[in-house]
């Protein structure tokens, strides 16, 4: 594969998705350097690779890094990603997700590194007007988090036009699961994501799961989401990297499983996987949650041959549970 033996800077490589990416790059024989400030990442998720603790917006640090290493590409996972938090602290999101990315791209341009893979999000679409969501669906984010990600996508298109910087923006739907090794997995603090919370309720670490909203216009009244395994996400990045290394043009792709599961579906499948009863408390809607978010990932399947290995939710939850059990 063209990516083997390439040198890749992984920004945010100590985070949940970044750490899984680093594993896949290592398995593909890439030479990886990680830059992470550990503000939300965790050093425990990184083993063996070159690790630099620092901010991606630190131009002096970036100049040193880009002078010392000749990178074939940069992958950027370092962002704040909580929709609710972004509503209360928009400037923190604009600073971290947008301003710091300006500094990173600036350093890339100064050092003539011209390939970039960006972690974008389904939140760029806002409230969907059509399901499944394709890449040409209108982008109208409903929160600062989505605004910052869309602003970076637009900045990337401008950088391509001006400097020939080629990029792939990957719009993740709901990342879930853990590496089969169960050595790395999801560990946010505080945890806000559904599957880790459901699993904590399954093994009694918390008393119950609160279901945010039971009156949505869906079959069981709870929100429907598209869960995609974190290693399938990482695999898509490898395909995108290969395409850029082969001279491919800039592109934007959705990454989802194309299957929608309601919150109640997730809970009942987690009961099946864990063999435990999961106590549920019905709670009001969480502000900013769209009723249904399901991707069409046809474009990346067709153009890059992406074929997710985790094609059902039980398989995804099983890997998350194996990781969860090790976090005692
Ligand atoms: N939920 C609950 N109870 C909880 C936690 C979540 O009912 O304790 C519900 C939410 O209301 C939502 C669903 O479970 O309906 C999934 O919630 P998550 O917080 O796990 O994920 P989100 O869909 O809100 O957001 C995720 C990422 C975002 C990204 C978005 C894109 O965290 O960064 O997917 O789809 F923008």
Helix runs in the chain, H state only: 16-27, 59-68, 83-88, 90-93, 100-110, 144-163, 194-202, 230-245, 263-274, 298-304, 313-325
Using one digit for the tens of pLDDT, what is the confidence trace for 45-93?
998 789 999 999 999 999 999 999 999 999 999 999 998 899 999 999 9
Residue 309, Cβ density class (10 Å: 0-12 exposed, 13-18 middle, ≥19 buried): exposed
Are the CB atoms for 324 and 203 separated by under 8 Å? yes
Q: Which atom of ligand 1 lies nearest, measured to the CA of 198?
A: 8
Q: pLDDT tens for residues 229-275?
A: 999 999 999 999 999 999 999 999 999 999 999 999 999 999 999 99
**Does residue 174 line the site of ligand 1, with CB under 6 A?**
yes
Atom of ligand 1 nearest to the CA of 81: 33
| 328 has a pLDDT exceeding 80 | no
Task: For residues 145 and 90, give the distance between their C-alpha atoms in angstroms, rounded to a whole number.
Answer: 8
Determine the pLDDT at residue 49: 80
Residue from 200, 222, 220, 212 nearest 279 by CA: 200
Q: 256 alpha carbon to ligand 1 midpoint, in Å?
A: 14
Predicted confidence band at 189 (pLDDT cuts at 50, 70, 90)? Answer: confident
Q: Binning pLDDT at 50, 70 and 90, where does residue 3 land?
A: confident
Q: Is the pLDDT of residue 317 over 90?
A: yes
Whole-number pLDDT of residue 81: 94
Q: Is the CB of 263 under 6 A from ligand 1?
A: yes
CA distances from 262 to 78, 118, 225, 296, 321 (A): 28, 28, 6, 17, 19
d(CA 287, ligand 1 centre) in Å:
11
Residues 103-132 have pLDDT tens digits of 999 999 999 999 999 999 999 999 999 999
pLDDT of 23 over the 80 cut: yes
CA-CA distance, 110 to 293, in Å (whole number)?
A: 39
pLDDT of 47: 84
209: Cβ below 6 Å to ligand 1?
Answer: yes
C-beta neighbour count of 289 within 10 angstroms? 16
- Is residue 74 within 8 Å of residue 104, measured between CB atoms? yes
Cβ count within 10 A of residue 70: 10
145 counts as catalytic: yes
Residue nearest to atom 12 of ligand 1 (CA): 223
Of 150, 155, 154, nearest in space to 109 by CA: 155
Gyration radius (Cα) of the chain, Å: 19
Residue 148 Cβ < 6 Å to ligand 1: no
128 CA to centre of ligand 1 in angstroms: 15
Three-class DSSP category at 101? helix
Residue 141 token pair: 């984010």
Residue with tokens 């409230």: 127
H helices of 116-193, where? 144-163
pLDDT at 187: 85
pLDDT averaged over every residue in the chain = 96
Whose Cα sits closest to atom 24 in ligand 1? Answer: 289
> CA 267, CA 275: separation in Å to the nearest integer?
12
Expressed in angstroms and rounded, the spacing between residue 194 Cα and the centre of ligand 1 is 6
| Burial letters 269-282, b for 16+ CB under 10 A, else e | bbeebbeeebebee
CA–centroid distance, residue 67 to ligand 1 (Å)? 40
Cis peptide before 22 (omega within 30 of 0): no
Cα–Cα distance for residue pair 174/194, rounded to 1 Å:
10
Which of the 8 DSSP states describes residue 251?
E
The CB of 111 under 6 Å from ligand 1? The reply is no
| Domains by residue range for the chain, with CATH | 7-176+226-255 (3.40.50.720), 194-225+258-326 (3.90.25.10)
Q: CA 280, CA 207: separation in Å to the nearest integer? A: 9
∠ CA(100), CA(101), CA(105), 5° rounding? Answer: 125
Name which residue sits closest to atom 27 of ligand 1, judged by CA: 174
Is the pLDDT assigned to residue 1 strictly greater than 90? no
Catalytic residue among 16, 93, 125, 145: 145
């Amino acid at each position: 594969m063209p990516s083997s033996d390439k040198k890749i800077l992984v920004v945010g490589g100590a985070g949940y998705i970044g750490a899984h990416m680093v594993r896949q790059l290592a398995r593909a024989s890439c030479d990886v350097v990680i830059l992470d400030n550990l503000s939300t990442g965790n050093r425990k998720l990184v083993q063996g690779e070159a690790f630099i603790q620092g901010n991606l917006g630190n131009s002096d640090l970036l100049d040193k890094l880009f002078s010392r290493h000749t990178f074939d590409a940069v992958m950027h996972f370092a962002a704040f990603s909580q929709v609710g938090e972004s509503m209360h602290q928009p400037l923190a999101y604009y600073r971290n997700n947008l301003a710091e990315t300006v500094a990173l791209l600036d350093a890339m341009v100064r050092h003539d590194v011209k390939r970039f893979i960006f972690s974008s999000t389904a939140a760029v679409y806002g409230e969907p007007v059509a399901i499944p969501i394709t890449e040409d669906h209108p982008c109208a984010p409903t929160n600062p988090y989505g605004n910052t990600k869309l602003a970076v996508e637009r900045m990337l298109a401008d950088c391509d036009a001006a400097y020939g910087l080629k990029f792939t923006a990957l719009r993740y739907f709901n990342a879930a699961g853990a590496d089969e090794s169960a050595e790395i997995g999801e560990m946010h603090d505080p945890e806000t994501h559904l599957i880790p919370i459901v699993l904590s309720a399954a093994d009694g670490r918390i008393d119950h799961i609160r279901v945010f909203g039971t009156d949505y216009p869906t079959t069981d009244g709870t929100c429907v989401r598209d869960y995609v395994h974190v290693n399938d996400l990482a695999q898509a990045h490898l395909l995108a990297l290969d395409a850029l290394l082969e001279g491919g043009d800039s592109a934007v792709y959705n990454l989802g499983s194309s299957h929608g599961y309601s919150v109640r579906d997730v809970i009942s499948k987690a009961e099946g996987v864990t063999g435990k009863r999961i106590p549920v408390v019905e709670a009001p809607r969480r502000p900013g949650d769209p009723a249904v978010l399901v991707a069409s990932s046809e474009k990346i399947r067709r153009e890059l041959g992406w074929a997710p290995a985790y094609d059902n939710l039980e398989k995804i939850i099983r890997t998350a549970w194996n990781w969860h059990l090790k976090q005692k």
